[in-house]
Structure 1
Amino acid sequence: MPTPSRLRAAAVTATALLLSSMVAGCGDDAQNEDLTAQKLSWKDCPAPSQAEGGGSAPSPLPDGDQWQCATMKAPLDWDDPKGDTIDIALIRARASGDESRRIGSLVFNFGGPGGSGVSTLPAFGEEYAALRTRYDLVSFDPRGVGRSAGVRCENDQQLDAYFQQDGTPDDAVERTALLDSTKDFNSACEKHAKKMLPNVRTTDAARDMDLMRQVLGDDRLYYFGISYGTELGGVYAHLFPRNVGRAVFDAVVDPTQTSEQGSLGQAKGFQLALDNFAEDCTSKTEDCPVGDTAQDVKDRIAGLLESLDGKPIPGIFPRELTQSAATNGIAQALYSKDFWEYLTEGLEQAYAGDGKILMLLSDLMNGRNENGEYSNITAANISINCADDKPRYSTAYVQRRLPAFRAASSLFGDFLAWGMVSCTDWPVPGADDHPDVSAPGSAPILVVGNTGDPATPYEGARKMVDALGRGVGVELTYKGQGHGAYGSKNKCVQTAVNGYLLDGKVPAAGTVCS
């Protein structure tokens, strides 16, 4: 069964801490005096662990500099800061410019939740070259992720079966199978990661970031959050508003939504992205190979998924392409316009009875490599979401809500609605309905929304600006496609973001880039 919470790609809720940031900040600093004084030992980076996705050690940067890795100690439980500790894995690229112009460390979180920053940042090293002129580029595996006390649940063989499960049950037998699969997964998480599960909330990760800021030697946190990273950044700003330096939120999570509202918003967002894909394919001068009109493209996809529900086709041997795997693969391809050509090719092949490309896309979403090994992104994603999200949804409730989800998206509605049962039998209670990101007194935060974003719909940017509070959030709109804006290489967006992070120039609120 694919993990619809993973599809939400951060449109989830986090806990709100009902303490003033000043009290929390001072209390944590005083109690963790030894941890704030720790010295990091930076060394050449090893190859990523399996939990981080595997692969080779990061290649040198374009100027020949090596990526460096280190480990920071943090409390296992921030309510018991002098108790047990865990290791937080870090990576950095030293600033390339004149040391006299260096501002500090720019900390990245690329989202998920559950994504490894240690394995992700090197893939984007060149993309952030301009920012590296004045910052050390730093990222990390958040707690519960990768090498930072990564949560482990099921093994690779069990995960293969889990992701083949029918995620859109049609009758009582299929609903029981879905719930049983969910219970088995959640029980495995409790068995293998019992100590970590209560300690992977977004507030915990935010406190880790403030400790990181101090250990890195910065008076303020300079931050670039993408997708779920915008939620983490908002929670940090709420807890430590006076410690916020220059910060950018890109692909913005709506902090006012419950997990259900986030899933419903994503159903609409992915449907919009599918509409745009279909229009793009059929509007080109050459014939669109997967449909004659935009509606024909969508009708043929719907027909494919319906047929796969009863009769899967060969995928990557020995696995078959099921309805759920195909839906997952299509969603993965809609994250970026750069993937649309692979979606077209994958659909062509699937119509001819070959599911390899759609299965490869699904594997990419689920963190499965070509050797059949999974990263821990699914385990971490579900663990963080369920620790953050207070609601627990029954199958009866989901059934009542199906019409609303289907109205939002005939293709993705059922898939995202049934994903709400992921936390139903979770062993740890969720913290709250949605995060508190109010940050009075914070420095300005540049909030970048993309009108065509499927995973974090555009409306979330305005909601984040309003929730941060007057004088804090500064909204910038990018009229584009895909998840996020800075990575689109749009010059207007990059000029605005670089101008703020490098020179402190806050763009005019309401700036629009296209």
Structure 2
Amino acid sequence: MKKTLFTSLVLALAVTGCAGAEQPAAELTGGPTGGPSAEPAATDTGAVAWAACTDLIGPDGNTMPPDPALECGTLTVPLDYDQPDGETIDLALIRIQAAGDRIGSLVFNFGGPGGSGVDTLGRARQAFAGLGGSYDLVSFDPRGVDRSAGVKCGGKVEEMLSMASGEDPDKVSREFAAACEKDSGKVLPHVGTLDAAQDLDRIRDALGDDKLNYFGLSYGTHLGSVYATKFPDKVGRFVLDAAYDPNVTFEERALTQVKGFADAFDAFAENCVAQGCDLGKTPDAVRDTVEKLLDGLQSKPLKVGDRQLTNGLAQFAVITPLYAKATWPLLEQGVAAAVKGDGTVLLSLADTYTGRRADGTYSTAMASQQAITCADTAERPSAADTAALNEKIKKIFPMLAAEDVSTACAHWPAEGDDQAKHIDATGSDPIVVIGGKGDPATPYEWAESLTARLKTGVLVTYEGEGHGAYLSGSACVMRMVDAYLLKGTLPESGASCPAA
């Protein structure tokens, strides 16, 4: 197997969120327009008929048993907002009703782009239990994701992830794009963040709220920023954690994130050595162990049952636990086992990232991620552009460099535009923006720039490691966010929290 930039970098470095809520996890691919299958409606709120959830996917990749605390439903919205009376799609929603005196609804987007909010809230509700006393906790599969007209690509995701040695990655990229067009062509032009923001306002209205109370993580900060730009007068209490600034180029984003993951790996290696590390007695030795394993997998993948741990999948496996300090031990355990010939843990980590479920099928996560990313930019980097980028990556973090290169959007069948890059929430209520100094995927500098672009942003700094501060274990961050969401107490200018 060869590692190619198309599979191991371009998709791997799209903004992926809520590591604290999702690790480890698998996703679910639903029907192209349907929502979660459900029993007959139990309660109605506005345009949403709520009923029992029956097809949620748990952290182990299997269907979860029904939980009476969870309700699911669908909301019908236009496929094309320029033709509001034309074809429609159904958005899948999930709700946990407030346990106490209700303030209203709090809507979550946990990241991606391409992540299932329905499955994630089902798994992560205990992490937000402190907010569930006063809010109905609500999330959804954004358009183009899983149950909400999820992008399908004819089974090409697995083919892309297991590209054979000698195969042309640019050809695979073209074939993948063609398969997506064949299966989801009518949806692809309408899965961008601006469309999703308009969906978000339809959700707000259907929930019966005058203003939207919102908690966005990672990519969810982009969706929230676009909503606040388009509907500033509808912004309620907004928290944007692990902030993403969309005003970066393809190359700037990739290089910034590569540096972030390189720094996170260094922090992991130092921590591992301090704890007594199975991978080496010094940080350099730890790095050498991982690099040697990855290099060896290029020519000789590791057999795991009837599957193989390839170099590309191992790259996903290395990246995944770097999102949260709490999952660093999985990286040590997985590499140590793989060095001895057992790739089970690393393959499981890769499956978490790629959305592979227990039955061997995939969620729409990888396809949806590409579709939304390509919709949100007019950039179409060529293979030559990506090759030049790869040379720069080799100098920063060789573990993420590649032999062969392609590019995710070069052959994409739907045009993209830059509308979702324009951020200005002038006139909105204050928006709390949280940036982590040790965040590998959405670096702190993006929180600073997004706060400035919003005009109404209030920046909170978290000094610790990991992607997302609220779920990092920081009592300081949690108190500050809860005080704002529950009582309206805005953090002071320049507020900061130490590492947990």
Tell me the TM-score normalized by structure 2.
0.89
Aligned-residue offset at 1:229 = 0.2
Structure 2, unpaired ranges of 5+:
18-44
Aligned-residue offset at 1:277 = 0.5
1:10 corresponding residue in structure 2 = 15
1:129 corresponding residue in structure 2 = 129
2:298 corresponding residue in structure 1 = 309
2:51 corresponding residue in structure 1 = 43
What are the residue-to-residue correspondences of 1:362-441 with 2, within 5 Å?
A: 362-414=350-402, 418=405, 421-432=407-418, 435-441=421-427
Aligned partner (choices 470, 484, 487) of residue 486 of structure 1: 470
Letter in 1 for 2:199: D
DSSP 3-state at the match of 1:125: helix
Aligned-residue offset at 1:5 = 4.2
Aligned-residue offset at 1:274 = 0.4
Aligned-residue offset at 1:413 = 4.1
Letter in 1 for 2:147: R
1:159 corresponding residue in structure 2 = 157
Say whether the 8 Å CA contact 1:267–1:408 is kept in structure 2. Answer: yes
1:33 corresponding residue in structure 2 = none
What are the residue-to-residue correspondences of 1:263-274 with 2, within 5 Å?
A: 263-274=254-265
Aligned partner (choices 289, 300, 323) of residue 278 of structure 2: 289
Alpha-carbon spacing, 1:418–1:442, altered in 2? closer, same or farther (3 Å):
farther
Work out whether 1:71 is the aligned partner of 2:70.
no
2:205 corresponding residue in structure 1 = 214
Work out whether 1:502 is the aligned partner of 2:486.
yes
Say whether the 8 Å CA contact 2:8–2:312 is kept in structure 1. Answer: no
Distance in 2 (alpha carbons) for counterparts of 1:109 and 1:259: 23
What are the residue-to-residue correspondences of 1:53-452 with 2, within 5 Å?
A: 55-60=63-68, 66-98=69-101, 102-155=102-155, 158-165=156-163, 174=166, 177-284=168-275, 287-314=276-303, 316-414=304-402, 418=405, 421-432=407-418, 435-452=421-438
Say whether the 8 Å CA contact 1:225–1:248 is kept in structure 2. Answer: yes
Aligned-residue offset at 1:161 = 2.8
Aligned-residue offset at 1:424 = 0.9
Alpha-carbon spacing, 1:115–1:11, altered in 2? closer, same or farther (3 Å):
closer
Aligned-residue offset at 1:270 = 0.7
Structure 1, unpaired ranges of 5+:
13-36, 61-65, 167-172
2:496 corresponding residue in structure 1 = 512
Distance in 1 (alpha carbons) for counterparts of 2:415 and 2:109: 25
Letter in 2 for 1:208: D
Alpha-carbon spacing, 1:313–1:39, altered in 2? closer, same or farther (3 Å):
closer
Say whether the 8 Å CA contact 1:6–1:112 is kept in structure 2. Answer: no
Say whether the 8 Å CA contact 1:53–1:119 is kept in structure 2. Answer: no
Distance in 2 (alpha carbons) for counterparts of 1:434 and 1:238: 9
Distance in 2 (alpha carbons) for counterparts of 1:280 and 1:296: 13
Say whether the 8 Å CA contact 1:6–1:381 is kept in structure 2. Answer: yes
Identity of aligned residues (%): 43
Distance in 2 (alpha carbons) for counterparts of 1:297 and 1:506: 43
Distance in 1 (alpha carbons) for counterparts of 2:322 and 2:67: 29
Task: State the aligned residue count.
Answer: 465
Aligned-residue offset at 1:304 = 1.5
Alpha-carbon spacing, 1:391–1:67, altered in 2? closer, same or farther (3 Å):
same
1:28 corresponding residue in structure 2 = none
Distance in 2 (alpha carbons) for counterparts of 1:54 and 1:181: 30
Distance in 2 (alpha carbons) for counterparts of 1:356 and 1:49: 21
Aligned-residue offset at 1:154 = 2.7
1:461 corresponding residue in structure 2 = 447
Aligned-residue offset at 1:53 = 6.3
Aligned-residue offset at 1:433 = 8.2
Aligned-residue offset at 1:44 = 1.1
Say whether the 8 Å CA contact 1:391–1:433 is kept in structure 2. Answer: no
Distance in 2 (alpha carbons) for counterparts of 1:243 and 1:319: 49
Alpha-carbon spacing, 1:398–1:331, altered in 2? closer, same or farther (3 Å):
same
Per-residue CA distance 1:197-245 (angstroms, 9 max, x = gap) = 0010100000000111111111111000001000000000111111100
Alpha-carbon spacing, 1:6–1:250, altered in 2? closer, same or farther (3 Å):
farther
Give the root-mean-square deviation of aligned CA atoms: 2.1
Letter in 2 for 1:154: G
Distance in 2 (alpha carbons) for counterparts of 1:141 and 1:151: 12
Distance in 1 (alpha carbons) for counterparts of 2:169 and 2:14: 21
DSSP 3-state at the match of 1:492: helix
Letter in 1 for 2:254: S
DSSP 3-state at the match of 2:479: helix
DSSP 3-state at the match of 1:489: coil
DSSP 3-state at the match of 1:332: helix
Letter in 2 for 1:308: L
Aligned-residue offset at 1:9 = 4.3
DSSP 3-state at the match of 2:463: strand
Aligned-residue offset at 1:350 = 1.4
Aligned-residue offset at 1:86 = 0.7
Per-residue CA distance 1:6-27 (angstroms, 9 max, x = gap) = 4334279xxxxxxxxxxxxxxx
Say whether the 8 Å CA contact 1:53–1:374 is kept in structure 2. Answer: no
Aligned-residue offset at 1:394 = 1.4
Letter in 2 for 1:288: C
Say whether the 8 Å CA contact 1:69–1:89 is kept in structure 2. Answer: yes
1:29 corresponding residue in structure 2 = none
Say whether the 8 Å CA contact 1:225–1:250 is kept in structure 2. Answer: yes
After alignment, is 331-340 or 193-202 more displaced? 331-340
Moved over 4 A (4+): none
Letter in 2 for 1:43: A
